[in-house]
Amino acid sequence: MIVTAMDVYKLLPKTNCGICGEASCMAFATKLSEKEMELSLCTQMMDEELEKLKNILAPAVSEVTIGTGDKAITIGGDEVLYRYELTYYNPTALVVDVSDDLEESELEERVKTIKDTEFERTGEKLTLDAIAIRNKSGNSEKFVETVKKVKDANLPLLLCSFNPDSMKAALKIVGSDRPLIYATTEYNIEEMAALALEYDCPITLFIPNDLDKMKELSNVLRSKGIKDIVLDPGTFVDAGIGDSLDNFIMIRRQAIEENDEDFRFPIMGVPAVTWISSKEDKVTTGMREATIAATLMNKYADILIMHGADIWELIPVLTLRQSLYTDPRKPQAVDPGIYEFGDVNENSPVLMTTNFALTYYTVEGDLKSGNVNCYLLVLDTGGRAVDVSVAGNQLNAKSVTDLIRNSGIENGVNHQKLIIPGLAAPVSGEIEDESGWEVMVGPRDSSGIPDFLTEKW
Ligand code: SF4
């Protein structure tokens, strides 16, 4: 159920006291319903209304936090089945595994790779979120030794063992760091639940392909007072991903449409199983794993354990995550104003573009890779691209003239020439008339800027 600002407003004190930092209760209600403010900022609530508000603001899918401090990750928190209905909250956590049978040097190298994985796209650094430590050896001591070594990586951990003794031994080392226990099953639920309670750690319930059993055991965990549960209905890859996908969709539908308390938890997928039965080469297996990860992320996976750690495999998964978890209600924008590239002086060319993030970072990339020395004026079009803002009249003679006047560029150069994007050609004459600057129409594609400047500047 989507909570509206009016639903929230009805329960607020309506005194417009301003203590929360907003001018009115309605403004606070609007931000609260859009998860832009915390309920605790209103200190004027009566207990009864406060409880009611907490209940209606609780997301359909519970939030679960793994790890502590600034590296902690929160998963879940979604309210809707389809992103266009609202937005998706808390990006899918991407986790890569290590196992306790690796040689020390292999383990060190793999942990370093996981920590160092970073890919920049549209101004955002995309990274991995956590490390899953598998008790592949079946030996508690080896598991503990590996946990001790990986602990220093300072990333949230998933402890992967079905053996309660191994889990207990590992939790003695890192229990206070709030690792995710993976996993409890119908066979170890008493011991694992006791550990989750003792160490106050989130726990994964692994029930492959049996949602009735999953519901029953989720209820058992909840009845013990465990609130932080992650559901893993199994990731089946050999006969295609269909069964897994069906289970993911049914769990999320039960949570959001039926408000079924036993399913209101984040879902885990384990594309890493692709490697277990694969008879293909490394590249083919890695591509298959990435495809499975992308498929499950599209259909509600809140956390994914992967095995492939090559950047070429991770880039499409990281990129998809970034795209899925942008807010469709807010255009992605950069700050408008004046930007400098390379060594600029009073003779440097002055280019212009809009503040749509994808446009800006494409232009930025082309200017940097072309070693261009220039000023770039970035127009506030509300995060719209050049052609869209010409059509919508955000890019017009007045807005560009205001940008020239207010940016201070007139003090930085000894000429009055502005290079506008090729897609803004229809308004070039108007800009020239209004601003008094000579307008040069640049290429339609920013990759052509370096050659354009060589020929015409
Ligand atoms: S603190 Fe509470 S009562 Fe005061 S303006 Fe904000 S929402 Fe309204």
Look at residue 1 in the predicted model and tell me its pLDDT.
Answer: 65
Domain ranges of the chain: 5-57, 63-324, 337-456
pLDDT digits 0-9 by tens, 166-224: 999 999 999 999 999 999 999 999 999 999 999 999 999 999 999 999 999 999 999 99
Look at residue 253 in the predicted model and tell me its pLDDT.
Answer: 96
What percentage of the chain reaches a pLDDT higher than 90?
89
pLDDT at 303 over 70: yes
Task: Judge if the beta carbon of residue 44 lies within 6 A of ligand 1.
Answer: yes
Task: Judge if the beta carbon of residue 317 lies within 6 A of ligand 1.
Answer: no
pLDDT class for 85, splitting at 50, 70, 90? confident
Fold of 337-456: Rossmann fold (3.40.50)
pLDDT at 278 over 80: yes
pLDDT digits 0-9 by tens, 88-113: 889 999 999 999 999 999 999 999 99
pLDDT digits 0-9 by tens, 119-147: 988 888 999 999 999 999 999 999 999 99
User: Ligand 1: which residue has its CA nearest to atom 2?
Assistant: 42
- What mean pLDDT, rounded, does the chain reach? 95
Nearest alpha carbon to residue 150 among 114, 123, 118: 114
pLDDT at 83 over 90: no
In a mutational test of the pocket of ligand 1, which residue from 10, 15, 39, 49 has the highest number of ligand atoms less than 8 Å from its CB?
15
Task: Judge if the beta carbon of residue 18 lies within 6 A of ligand 1.
Answer: yes
CATH of the domain spanning 5-57, picked from 3.40.50.2300, 3.30.70.100, 1.10.15.40, 3.40.50.620: 1.10.15.40
Distance 37 CA to ligand 1 centre (A): 12
Same fold? 5-57, 337-456: no
Question: What mean pLDDT comes out for the span 260-279?
Answer: 95
User: Ligand 1: which residue has its CA nearest to atom 4?
Assistant: 17
Task: Judge if the beta carbon of residue 17 lies within 6 A of ligand 1.
Answer: yes
CATH of the domain spanning 63-324, picked from 3.20.20.20, 3.40.640.10, 3.40.1160.10, 1.10.20.10: 3.20.20.20
